[in-house]
Each structure stands twice: as C-alpha cells, then as structure tokens.
A and B are shown apart, each in its own frame.
Chain A
Amino acid sequence: MSSVEAPAIRKTALNGVHRQMGAKMVEFNGWDMPVEYPASLGGGIISEHMAVRTGVGIFDVSHMGDIRLAGPQALAAVQHISMNDASKLAIGQAQYSALLYPQGTFVDDVIVHRLGEDEYLLVINAGTREKDFSWVRDNTHQFDCKVENLSDDYTQIAIQGPKAVDLLQKLTDADLSAVKFYWVTRGKLCGLPNILLGRTGYTAEDGFEIYIPADESTSARVWNEILAAGREFGVVACGLGSRNTLRLEGKLPLYGHEISDTINVWEAGLDRFCKMEKPEFVGREALEKAKAAGVKRALVGLEMTERGIARDEYKVQNESGQEIGYVTSGSPGPFLKKNIALVYVPIEQSAVGTKLKVEIRGQGVGAVVVSTPFYKRPKKDSPLRTQRSTEV
C-alpha cells in the first residue's frame, strides 16, 4: 500500500452538469474543469470565444478562491498585503491588485472588493487558493481583523459579453444599469436572497460574476436558468479554452505565466495598479530599489507575421536568431484572427514595431512587437466590434 497518495482531483458543484452537457474535461491546477462544450450546444473554443465577443457566454469559475477580511482594521490589513490603494474604494467598489512577496514579485493577482464598512473580499486564482490564504493569514495577524477562507462556500458563475447584463437583468431584481464596471451590488437572483453580483470578469468584455450557494442542486438550477433566460441572446456555455483565448486578447495576466514569484511588478507592466504613494506594503521597498536600478525586461505583445503559432514557453529570438526571451502565453486569437503572444524580452527589444522571431519546432518564425491590449471592447452602443488598428 502506498504511503503517499496523490491528491484527489477537485470538482466544482457544477461538475456533473458540465459532464452531462458533454463538455471535454481537462485537469487545471488540480481541478476537473470543462475546456470546451460540444458543437451541438454551440460550443468549441472558437465558437465560445466569438459568443462572448458578440453576444454572451457563461463560465463556471467556482475553482477560484475567496478570502474575506472583516474587522476594525480590515482596511489596514488589506493595505499591508495588497499593492493597490484600497482606501480609494467606496463600499460596493472593486479594484484589480496583487499580493506581493517582500522581493516585489507576485504571490497572486487578485480583485479586491469592498463589501462593507470594514469588510473586504479578495477573489484569487484557483491554483493558489491555499497558498494565498496562508499568506494572507500569516501577514495580517498583527491587525484586528478576521480572515476567512470562503472558497468552498460559493459557486461562482461568470456571465460575459455585450448581452450579459441584459441576460442577468432577467433573473434579478437588482438594478444592474446602476452598477458601473468594477462595482458590485446585492440582489435577489433566481429566487435566492441577497446574492453578490460583481461587474467584473476576465474576458475583456462587459459582464458580471455572481456568487451563489455552493450546493449542487442550487448551482445546477441557477446555471440552467441562466442558459434558459439567455436563449434569446444566443447564450453559450464556455470552458477554460475560450477563457484563455479571451483573456489573452485582452492582455489579462495569468498567474504562472505573465506573473509569478520570479517576476516583479515593473517587468509585468502592472505599474498603474501599484500605488507607491502608499507609505507601506509588502514588497514596496524591493520595488523602489528595482525601479532605481532600472527595469531589465518587459512583457510585450507579439503578433506573428509569418505562418505559425507561438505557444507557451517557446523561445523568442532577435532578428539574427539569438535567443533573447520566451513566450508566457501564446495562441491563436479567434476574434482578431491573428496568432498572438505575450513574451518577456530585454527592455531594449521591447518597443512597438521591433521585429523578432519565435522558435517553432527549430525554426525562427517572424513576429513583431505590437501595442497591447490586442483587443479592447468598443464603447457601449458602438456598432463596431473591431480589433485594435494594425498600423504600427
């Protein structure tokens, strides 16, 4: 009998529903998750991606984690561990941020929500649930604040796309038109009282993420009610495959790729979420030193100019074929109809227009540095759903 057991793969409350729908399943950071749904349901990575860009798609994102900080010094605790400035948050407002190590590198990226006077909710990545919770607990014990891991308490569903708000409005009494992007509200949803509805997401589209009780029957009921209510908008269930292509087009970072414990905030280009005017937070000192020493490498966007798809971990070369960096995330961009990648290269090779190569099966294939995000959603009511200009 083996004395070491492999950890059992984890399942969200909607696992049975995904399997019943015939989704192709994949293991992601210890979770059994849908990567795409069958074509008969409007699925397939490309179809799901396009549904989110032009209509609405829904995702089971319950694998993500939730940490609640509440108490008289909750704000102080958040300010200590989070690089953005949470004191700017009104009740009901959220912001993108990151938890940093003392070296100024990433523990995780996070969305900080202010839910009450002294109550904050951090929504974190699936693969870093336990690490983050330990980190938060260990780095806030000096503050009068309770830290709770609520990750298993919620089924989290993301409803994303230009029609997402119209869909969700059918199911809730909360006035969603009053909720600005990156704000939250609470309302009755599918008969459930006081449900947290956040206008957030990871697709570079408008939309909401909802937090409902994690029991299987409630989760399945709400999922199916959303699909039924969304029929008139052409709603499609979406998996991790399209989730990745959507966030890549929007240049949204993925932990372990664009950000990690060996990459600092300046290299990752997340300056605008890092408030150095805060006198103190974990990692601040190291970041100050790093800035003074000069940032050596930068995360930039590449567009392939010759035939080929750049993929994660492929090597990046300069025009002469010398290795200078690597791909953090690369894939076809289904909406852009271009093959794109995010890469780390030396700062001297990071200007838009720089011609580079990606090594694909031993050959250097032409690419060019482009401005990012690759895709930005058009202003509301715009008839145009187009990509960023390709003029370089």
Chain B
Amino acid sequence: MPYPSDRKYTKEHEWIQVNGNSATVGITDYAQESLGDIVFVETPKVGAELTAGKTFGTVESVKAVSDLFAPASGTVTEVNADLATSPEKVNKDAHGSWMVKMTLKNPADVDALLSAADYEKFVAEEAGH
C-alpha cells in the first residue's frame, strides 16, 4: 500500500507529521497489520518529555506488548482520547489514527527519518524475511 507522503517514518514503524514546530505521531499500517487486533494503548500524559529513539508508551495486541518509540524529541501537548475506548480504530485506519501531538524540541530531528518511499522499501525488505 502506498504510504502517505505528507509525513516521515521510522524503522520502528511510527509516522510523524510535522506542522511548523509541532507534530502528530502514530503507527503505520504495517505495524497494525503485524500486531493484529489492538486492544490497549498506553500513552504518556500531556506535558511529558519525549526523547527521540526512546520508548514513550506501549501498544498491546491480544498476544503481545510492543513499545512505541518517539520519532523526535519534544513535549506532549495532546493525547488521542479514542485510544482508551476504541483502540481497534488504529487497526481500521492506522494512518488516520493519531496517538500523540507534540511540540518539537529540534525540528531537524525529523529530516533524518525515512520518506514514504524509503519506508515502503524498508517494509518490503522486512516482510520478505
């Protein structure tokens, strides 16, 4: 599936959509497909500090717990309330289901991340194993 080009991607299967000094973060369609039915998402509280590359929460499927890794450093400004009541929405539309909104400490962090095309290639290689 084509990955939206309005955002960047990480090798841990998160996406980040930048808007000036703020950004929106979620997980990719590949991630939700690999996880299976998502039943629980644990996110940090508003005001929490995120560090690029470090874990900031967990997403749980029926069988497993997976860490969420921050694509960039910054501060959480909003958390998607839907996640607590309807985590399955992430399965239905991973790219349309955001998890956290944040202000970016260093917007240049995002430049180093994968483009949609690079992520697609990365996923194709991973799926091939």
Q: Are A332 and B58 in contact (CB under 8 A)?
A: no
- How many A residues face the partner with a CB closer than 8 A? 18
Closest 9 CB pairs of A and B: A45-B62, A46-B37, A332-B39, A44-B37, A45-B37, A241-B63, A309-B40, A332-B62, A309-B60
Residues of B within 8 A of A199 (CB): none
- Residue B4 CB within 8 A of the other chain: no
- Residues of B near A241 (CB, < 8 A) are 36, 62-63
Q: Are A309 and B39 in contact (CB-based, < 8 A)?
A: yes
The verdict on A257 contacting chain B, using a C-beta distance below 8 Å, is: no
B residues whose Cβ falls under 8 Å from a Cβ of A:
36-37, 39-40, 42, 58, 60-63, 65, 84
Closest CB of chain A to B54's CB: distance in Å?
15
- How near does chain B come to A383, taking the closest CB pair, in angstroms? 27
Which residues of chain B are near A331, meaning CB under 8 Å? 62-63
CB distance from A310 to the nearest CB of B (A): 11
B36 touches A24 (CB 8 A): yes
Per-residue CB proximity of A290-312 to B under 8 Å, as 1/0? Answer: 00000000000000000111010
Instruction: Kindly state the separation between the CA atoms of A331 and B65 in the bound complex, as whole angstroms.
Output: 11
Contact at A311–B36, with CB atoms within 8 Å? no
Question: Cβ of A46 and Cβ of B84 under 8 Å apart?
Answer: no
Give 12 pairs: A residue, B residue, CB < 8 Å, sorted on A.
Answer: A24-B36, A36-B36, A44-B36, A45-B61, A307-B40, A308-B40, A309-B39, A332-B39, A332-B40, A332-B62, A334-B62, A361-B58
- Asked if A97 is an interface residue, CB under 8 A from chain B, the answer is no
A123 at the interface (CB under 8 A from B): no
Least distance between A108 CB and chain B CB atoms (Å): 24
Measured between beta carbons, the chain B residues less than 8 angstroms from A308 are 40
In the bound complex, do residue A46 and residue B62 qualify as a contact, i.e. CB atoms below 8 Å apart?
A: yes
Q: Is A160 an interface residue (CB 8 A)?
A: no
> B residues within 8 A CB of A44?
36-37
Shortest Cβ distance from residue B72 to the other chain A in the assembled complex, whole angstroms: 23
Q: Does A245 contact B (CB under 8 A)?
A: yes
Residues of A within 8 Å of B36, CB to CB, are 24, 36, 44-45, 241
